[in-house]
Every structure is written in structure tokens, then in C-alpha cells.
Amino acid sequence: MNTDAVETLEDKLQEFYELKNLTRYNQRVRIKDESVAEHSYFVSLFTLLLCRKLKVGTKTTQDSLAYALIHDIPEIEISDIPHPVKSLNALRKIVGRLERDALEMILPDFLQLYENCESGQDEKVKTIVDLADVLSVIQYVSLEQKLGNTTLSDIEEQSYDRYQDLLEKVEKIFKVELDWSWIL
């Protein structure tokens, strides 16, 4: 193996490792930091549990897990941008383009999956991962509140609203009834 290939491999591996050092909610008061890597782990775990509970096929499970693992990869380049900011009409397209371009640069092999989810072409995968994502947020906010952080009530309220909306969407798409007990 030539040394250029080794340096490139080491650089790429280090690039992914940076997710461990990228702090979520960096603009908020926090008692315990959560890295993007930690968040991605929990999103992937909840995605796996949801896929099993929904009894989706192998392809949907694989695509959902892949999307869960890559959904925040663009943050290596653009950092953590809170959901409410990403959702602002004036910024939605700009942030979306930045995320797409960052993913194309970092993991081009997954660009099609990302674009299919973001465009709504793969609604099942996108909905599963969005629900898993909001569950990770609820998990984090709950821990912060147990530790005494009273500054995240707006995130809690937004997250529970998104959770309810996504539960309804899951019920519609997958034709199932799902409540919080799905995780048991």
C-alpha cells in the first residue's frame, strides 16, 4: 500500500471521528454535552427498533439504518444547526443545499439515498429516521431536565409536537397504530 493511500485513509477516518468532538445544542445552556456521534448512535438504535416493530423488509431496514448513520454527516462541514433554524423558510433551501454539498464531498456513495429521503421519494425511510431522530432529542432533553437544566422546555415542546406528528405519519404510511410503548 502506498503512503498516499494510507494518508488519505487516515484523513478520511479522522474526518468521521470529528463527529465525536462536534457538540450538539452548542448554542444552548447544557449540563451534559452530547456529541453528534452519540446522537447518531441513538438515532440508529431507535431506527433499528422501529424497523423491527414496523416489520419492514430488509431493504427498508438497511436503507433506514444507512440514512440514520449518515443523516448528520454534513455537520462535519457545517456544524450543528438546530432544527428550528433549519426549518425557517428563508434558510431551509440554503441549509439543505449546504448539507447536500457537504455529503457529496464526504460520502458521495450515499448521496442518492440522502437525496431520495430529503426529496420525499423514500418517505418510509425518511419518516422512520425522523421519528428516531426526534426520540433521540426527547431522550437528551429528558436527561438534561433530570440533571436540573430548565432551559430546554421549548425544545421539549417542539420535540413532542414533532413526535406526535411523526407518529400519525407512521400510522398512515405503515397502516399501524403506534404509541410510545413501541420501544418496549
pLDDT, tens digit, 9 for 90 and up, residues 141-154:
999 999 999 999 99
Q: Identify the residue with better confidence: 25 or 35.
A: 35
User: Which of these, 176, 154, 135, 165, lies nearest to 46 by C-alpha position?
Assistant: 135
DSSP code of 175?
A: T
Residue 4's pLDDT is: 53
Classify domain 3-183 at the CATH superfamily level: Hypothetical protein af1432 (1.10.3210.10)
> Which of 7-21, 59-73, 90-104, 145-159 is predicted least confidently?
7-21
Q: Where are the domains of the chain?
A: 3-183
Residues 6+ apart with CB under 8 A from 65: 44, 47, 48, 51
Q: Which of 66, 145, 61, 80 is nearest to 110 (CA)?
A: 66
